[in-house]
Structure 1
Amino acid sequence: MTEVPDAVTDVFDARETFVPSANGYVVETTSFEGHVTASEGEAWRTDYEVTVRAPTLQAATADDVGPAVREGWLDTLDRRLEDAPKATRVAVDLDEYTVEADDEEVVVTYRFSLGGEREAADVAKTFVEYVEGTYVEGIVPGYDYVGVVADLMNSASTGGSEGSRGGTPL
């Protein structure tokens, strides 16, 4: 595994948002699993990869979700998440962006290069939070949500946590 550059380690270690992991950092400010890795890039830049794991629509509900709804939901999520760089305070050009799904999980990956470690930490945190916020905004009404998604919906509507909820967060 590639070693995280020292300048990146110094910045990420100084922030409460990030917790060191085996080959990078875990973002602790969201309910979804966010992970950041960094490696030496060209010239003065560092290459970053931000990966966020979230449940698929089917995995987040106690109900059976039809294929048309599942596919439409994933397509819409994909298109909306592509705009994550617009949510940052610095100009970020993505080197790569992917959304992949299996039966239980959606894996969103952003790859980019930046020269400033502080800005990169801000961008990484923003990307992870953007995925979670966009996911919650795209929840399909009418299903009985469970697990982390039910907790997010409940927090959005009441500020509490129950673990099971139906309807939309608004």
Structure 2
Amino acid sequence: MTPPEIERAFESHEAFDVADDGYDLTTTVFETTITAEQPLDQDRHDGRIAITVFLPTLSAATVDDVADVVEDGWVETLERRLEDVFTVAGTDTHEEPRVERDEDVVRVHLEYVAWDADDGVTDAKALVEFVEGTYAQGIIPGYEYRGEAAALLESARERGQGAGNEESGTPL
């Protein structure tokens, strides 16, 4: 059961939607599952938040074939980069990030204590967006992408073209 303080914070935050299994972040192209649990009676925090972000593997995100050695190296690099994920969060009470991989999906699991419900929800948004940005950094040039990876690339292109049309923008 979601603690009432955290439920209120998620439902009042414009970036989250209520889902059957918790909450979804609407500002990311990736599927997310975010849940919260009641603290134990003796704990003095608003709850524990668990996040799972579902990312396509490199081979699932590309139209092209990807060699196993490239896929393995890509996942290892993603795992190393995600070691710093909690640097964007206010909480300092968290589990180490866990990354699980099967043929088509990489699941990133993040769990932390929300000492304050509003801060915990703000942390959830920042953490998922860090995972998305880390994934985007790992997009390897030279492949044709589809799905979420293609959407990230298209969004970056649009932002880049929009910045190039602004008179006060910094030239590249």
TM tier relative to shorter chain: 0.7 to 0.9
Question: How far apart in 1 are the matches of 2:33 and 2:120?
Answer: 13
What's the C-alpha RMSD, in Å, of the aligned pairs? 1.6
Q: Is residue 91–residue 114 contact of structure 2 (8 Å, CA) maintained in 1?
A: no
Q: Which has the higher contact order (CA 8 A, sep 6+)?
A: 2
Q: Is residue 33–residue 53 contact of structure 1 (8 Å, CA) maintained in 2?
A: yes
Please say if 1:152 is aligned against 2:152.
yes
Specify which structure has the higher proportion of helix. Answer: 2
Question: How far apart in 1 are the matches of 2:29 and 2:83?
Answer: 20
> 1:166: which partner in 2?
none
Q: Which is further off, 118-127 or 18-27?
A: 18-27
Q: Which has the larger radius of gyration?
A: 2
Q: Is residue 83–residue 96 contact of structure 2 (8 Å, CA) maintained in 1?
A: no
Per-residue deviation, 1:82: 1.7
Q: Which TM-score applies when normalising by structure 2? A: 0.87
Q: Is residue 24–residue 33 contact of structure 2 (8 Å, CA) maintained in 1?
A: yes
Return structure 1 stretches of 4+ with deviation > 6 angstroms.
none
Q: Is residue 4–residue 23 contact of structure 1 (8 Å, CA) maintained in 2?
A: no
Q: Is residue 91–residue 115 contact of structure 2 (8 Å, CA) maintained in 1?
A: no
The number of equivalent residue pairs is: 158
Q: Which TM-score applies when normalising by structure 1? A: 0.87
> 1:6: which partner in 2?
4
Identity of aligned residues (%): 38
- Supply the AA of the counterpart residue of 1:125: K
Question: How far apart in 1 are the matches of 2:67 and 2:22?
Answer: 37
Question: How far apart in 1 are the matches of 2:119 and 2:8?
Answer: 13
Specify which structure has the higher proportion of strand. Answer: 1
- Supply the AA of the counterpart residue of 2:44: W
> 2:52: which partner in 1?
51
Question: How far apart in 1 are the matches of 2:124 and 2:101?
Answer: 21
Gaps of 5+ in 1: 161-170
Residue 52 of structure 1 aligns to a residue in which SS? strand
Question: How far apart in 2 are the matches of 1:35 and 1:44?
Answer: 25
Q: Is residue 91–residue 112 contact of structure 2 (8 Å, CA) maintained in 1?
A: no
Question: How far apart in 1 are the matches of 2:115 and 2:156?
Answer: 35
Q: Is residue 85–residue 93 contact of structure 1 (8 Å, CA) maintained in 2?
A: no
> 1:39: which partner in 2?
37
- Supply the AA of the counterpart residue of 2:88: A
